[in-house]
């Protein structure tokens, strides 16, 4: 014990002799308005549960303070959202693909905590719709499914991510994607609408269709994703309104395939076909460790959400059985109005839970298998009531 105390005293003397001073901490909160306001280690409130709070130690801050990634995005810009909004779940956004390497001491920990994906793990992408095993539902089963929707987030390899992209680069992304949309034929053929110049009639129609996205929330505002709004942003949809692309919202592309009913194979096929056509014009950011690159670490890998709205009035009342099936097939249960909402009409949103470490095809398979099992359970409960 004496030797340990002596060592600490000697270390303190050495620091004093070298002139090293302890950097004053900065309290987290809404008073932090810009990256330059972060001038020392962040002091989070005791009840903060974000992964930024968990892993931004004074040592990590000291290592990265004032540094930028290869795209020129400052570390302080990446942590501003979580430093400002202490109710964040994650709190850190990457400024570019390189951010995950340059600031790996914190990103690796956040990714492993959220995805259980270790720093030496690989991610294999697979958008091949022909490998999906999803036989059509029977007529009575299909009648239980209201709608199907699958979307992916993508960013372009030659540009920084949203927090670090310039106005000129964002405009170029829009130009490349809108050009790719013009090549669509058949069921994908449609119209691109630039948010900055759309007519009032188009705006009203897009709102009516629930297609129009709005300026981002306070978390995205803090990390710089709302800059130059609405310039460089836009929406594409096909004539049948079963396919949609958001350009330069949170990620540079959000590609969405959807339709009424239960044809999961058709929805995934449409999505896969469109993504392939887009990448002929603009390569997506991707690597073998993290898969498709996104600004928020939670979306890394596939950035995919495959979901159905399904009527399960009996199973929905049996929470233990419902949750057991969800856990078995790696799916999550939500109310149809989004995360954390309740439902009182027996209609639920069922979607894949995993993102990183499994392919797109695998995650759509998760969703199909989970929905099939839930339908079987619902039918058994109905039969038992007779």
Chain centre to alpha carbon of residue 105:
21
Instruction: Look at the alpha carbons of 320, 321, 326, 327 in this order and tell me if their dihedral is positive or negative.
Output: positive
Contact 330/370 with Cβ under 8 angstroms?
yes
Task: Reduce the DSSP state of residue 158 to 3 states and report it.
Answer: coil
Q: What is the CA radius of gyration of the chain?
A: 24
State the catalytic residues. 151, 250, 254, 296, 298, 305, 334, 339
CA 201, 207, 211, 217 torsion: positive or negative? positive
Buried b vs exposed e over 186-205: b needs ≥16 C-beta within 10 Å? eebebebbbbeebeeebeee
d(CA 61, CA 136) in angstroms, rounded, equals 53
Instruction: Report the chain's terminal Cα–Cα distance, integer Å.
Output: 74
């Amino acid at each position: 014990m004496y030797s340990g105390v002596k060592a600490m005293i000697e270390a303190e003397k050495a620091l004093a002799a070298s002139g090293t001073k302890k950097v004053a901490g900065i309290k987290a909160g809404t008073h932090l308005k810009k990256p330059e306001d972060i001038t020392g280690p962040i002091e989070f409130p005791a009840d903060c549960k974000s992964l930024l709070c968990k892993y931004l130690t004074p040592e990590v801050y000291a290592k990265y303070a004032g540094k930028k990634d290869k795209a020129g995005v400052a570390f302080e810009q990446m942590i501003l959202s979580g430093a400002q909004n202490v109710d964040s779940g994650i709190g850190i956004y990457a400024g570019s693909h390189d951010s995950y390497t340059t600031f790996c001491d914190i990103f690796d920990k956040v990714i492993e905590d959220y995805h259980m994906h270790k720093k030496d793990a690989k991610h294999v992408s697979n958008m091949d719709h022909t490998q999906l095993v999803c036989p059509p539902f029977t007529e009575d089963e299909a009648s239980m499914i209201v709608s199907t929707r699958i979307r992916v987030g993508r960013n372009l390899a030659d540009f920084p991510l949203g927090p670090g992209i310039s106005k000129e680069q964002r405009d170029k992304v829009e130009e490349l994607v809108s050009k790719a949309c013009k090549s669509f034929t058949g069921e994908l053929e449609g119209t691109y609408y630039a948010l900055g110049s759309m007519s009032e009639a188009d705006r009203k129609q897009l709102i009516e269709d629930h297609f129009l996205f709005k300026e981002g929330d306070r978390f995205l505002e803090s990390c710089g994703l709302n800059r130059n709004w609405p310039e460089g942003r836009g929406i594409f949809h096909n004539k049948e309104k079963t396919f949609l692309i958001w350009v330069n919202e949170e990620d540079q592309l959000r590609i969405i395939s959807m339709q009424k009913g239960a044809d999961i194979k058709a929805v995934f096929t449409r999505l896969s076909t469109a993504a392939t056509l887009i990448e002929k014009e603009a390569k997506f950011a991707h690597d073998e460790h993290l898969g498709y690159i996104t600004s928020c670490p939670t979306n890394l890998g596939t950035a995919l959400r495959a979901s159905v709205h399904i009527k399960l009035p009996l199973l929905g009342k049996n929470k233990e059985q419902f949750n057991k099936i969800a856990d078995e097939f790696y799916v999550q249960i939500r109310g149809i109005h989004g995360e954390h909402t309740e439902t009182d009409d027996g209609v639920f949103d069922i979607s894949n839970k995993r993102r990183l470490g499994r392919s797109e095809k695998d995650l759509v398979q998760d969703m199909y298998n989970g929905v099939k099992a839930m339908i079987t359970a619902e039918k058994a409960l109905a039969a038992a009531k007779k």
